[in-house]
C-alpha cells in the first residue's frame, strides 16, 4: 500500500492553520487523526493560530526608522565612503612610492583633516601625488 497523507485546513485563507497527518496506510492515518483529536490537537492549533494572528506587526518603515534613530550619521558615512575613489586610481606616496589610503577625521588638536596617507609610512601623510 502507498503512504497516506491527510490535510486539515481551518479555512481557505492563506493564513489558515494546517494540520497534516501521515500514515503508512488509510487505517494508520485514521488512527493518527483520532489520537490528535483525543489529545485536543485541533483545538490547540486553532488557539495557537489565533494568538499568532493577534501578534502586533510593526508598521511598514518602522524598522528603517529604528535603524536611522540608532545610527543617525549612517547616511553621512555612506556618502563619505562613496566619495572615496576606487583602489585602481589611488595616488602613490611621493617619498617612497608606496600605496596610499584615503583617511579623514578629526585630529587630536580638534582640526578636521582628509587626504591620502602612505600605508608604508604613516609620517608620509602630506607626501602624496
pLDDT of 21: 92
Share of the chain above pLDDT 70, in %: 85
| Mean pLDDT value across residues 115-123 | 81
Answer whether residue 127 shows pLDDT above 80. Answer: no
| Mean pLDDT value across residues 53-71 | 79
Q: How far apart are the C-alpha atoms of 124 and 17, rounded to whole Å?
A: 67
Q: What is the 3-state secondary structure (H, E, C) of 86-117?
A: CHHHCCCECCCCCCEEEEEEECCCCCEEEEEE
Residue 29, classified by CB atoms within 10 Å of its CB into exposed (0-12), middle (13-18) or buried (19+), is: middle
- pTM here is 0.39
Answer whether residue 121 shows pLDDT above 70. Answer: yes
Q: How far apart are the C-alpha atoms of 79 and 83, rounded to whole Å?
A: 6
Answer whether residue 56 shows pLDDT above 70. Answer: yes
Q: How far apart are the C-alpha atoms of 125 and 129, rounded to whole Å?
A: 11
pLDDT of 124: 75
Q: C-alpha distances in angstroms, 95 versus 85, 86, 118, 122?
A: 21, 22, 9, 12
Amino acid at each position: 500500500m502507498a503512504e497516506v497523507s491527510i490535510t486539515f485546513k481551518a479555512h481557505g485563507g492563506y493564513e489558515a492553520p494546517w494540520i497534516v497527518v501521515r500514515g503508512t496506510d488509510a487505517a494508520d492515518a485514521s488512527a493518527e487523526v483520532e489520537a490528535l483529536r483525543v489529545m485536543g490537537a485541533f483545538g490547540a492549533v486553532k488557539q495557537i493560530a489565533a494568538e499568532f494572528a493577534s501578534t502586533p506587526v510593526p508598521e511598514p518603515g518602522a524598522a528603517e526608522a529604528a535603524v536611522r534613530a540608532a545610527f543617525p550619521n549612517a547616511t553621512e558615512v555612506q556618502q563619505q565612503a562613496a566619495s572615496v575613489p576606487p583602489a585602481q586610481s589611488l595616488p602613490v606616496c611621493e617619498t617612497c612610492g608606496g600605496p596610499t589610503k584615503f583617511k579623514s577625521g578629526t585630529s587630536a588638536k580638534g582640526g578636521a583633516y582628509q587626504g591620502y596617507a602612505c600605508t608604508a609610512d604613516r609620517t608620509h601623510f602630506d607626501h602624496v601625488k
